[in-house]
Amino acid sequence: MLDVIIDTLIDSLKLLPFLFISYLLIEFIEHKSSKSLEKILKNSGKFGPVIGSILGLVPQCGFSVTAANLYAGRVITLGTLIAVFLSTSDEAIPVLLSHPDSAPQIFKLLAFKLLIGILAGIIIDFIFRKKHNLKKDIEEVHEHMHNMCSHCDCNHDHGILRPTLKHTINIFIFIFIVAFILNTVIYFIGQEKLSTLLMSGTIFQPLIAGLIGLIPNCASSVLLTELYIAGNISFASVIAGLCTGAGIGMVVLFKVNHDFKQNLKILGTIYAIGSISGIIIGLIGIV
């Protein structure tokens, strides 16, 4: 058991430089463009699902929160909101970047999530086009987003180094915990039983991954990415899980959008789209 702890710690420590560089770049992009991206989303109009899906690919913690707030104010459409949620990958990109061998998978993953987000958003807006009643003039919702994201210094009042270090340390801890749990499970029950629990080799694995993705925390995207890197879940399944995971965006939606039944429908729609997309990808044999 001591070997498991030591091996997990060594493997995790190897990732630290890559995590730091990844988050430094992400924080720089967010610091320079977050307000511009929000403005683009607000003015996206009928192209909202396309713009939202593209912007959702930008790995920043506050963007799904922004989309939830804008939808609650009816500044963006339902299709745009769902497009953002589906394309958001939370911490998956930095985790993949921290594993150089897995970095090439990023482009394939982003391409599929972009496509799924655009298609789903356009279809949903087409179906509910008569129900959209967007407000053209509302007050800014920065204050609520600031309150929800204050734990990660999204406002960058202290520059980019502090949030970079904080993100790096937090995700390093998550990675260590997830890796330790996985290694411990494999140590005690074996790789074969873990694969059975995760329904490996079946078309139903994306359903399990989709449920994991619904956990409203960056830990879910870290777990899914680590499972994928370790070969415990398929590409189809990691797509399903990362599509259903929108960071804390879904939590914010339940807080600011007072139609609880509608929020549940949105949650169910996200899960259905993500899981079905994963099953389809699995059936056509994309790895």
pTM for the complete prediction?
Answer: 0.75
Q: Do the Cβ atoms of 134 and 77 come closer than 8 Å? A: yes
Extended beta strands in 133-237, E state: none
CA distance 120 to 269: 10
What residue numbers bound the domain in which 154 lies? 2-283
Count of beta carbons in the 10 Å neighbourhood of residue 283? 10
Count up the domains in the chain and report the number. Answer: 1
pLDDT at 147: 46
Q: In 96-123, which positions are buried (b, 16+ CB within 10 angstroms) versus exposed (e)?
A: bbbbeeeeebeeebbebbbebbbbbbbe
pLDDT at 136: 44
Average pLDDT, consecutive stretches of 10 residues, N- to C-terminus, the chain (287 residues): 76 75 69 62 75 80 76 86 88 81 84 95 87 50 46 56 82 78 75 72 88 80 86 91 84 87 94 95 79
pLDDT at 138: 43
Q: Do the Cβ atoms of 205 and 233 come closer than 8 Å? A: yes
Q: Do the Cβ atoms of 26 and 59 come closer than 8 Å? A: yes
Q: Do the Cβ atoms of 234 and 282 come closer than 8 Å? A: yes
Q: Do the Cβ atoms of 229 and 102 come closer than 8 Å? A: yes
pLDDT at 141: 46
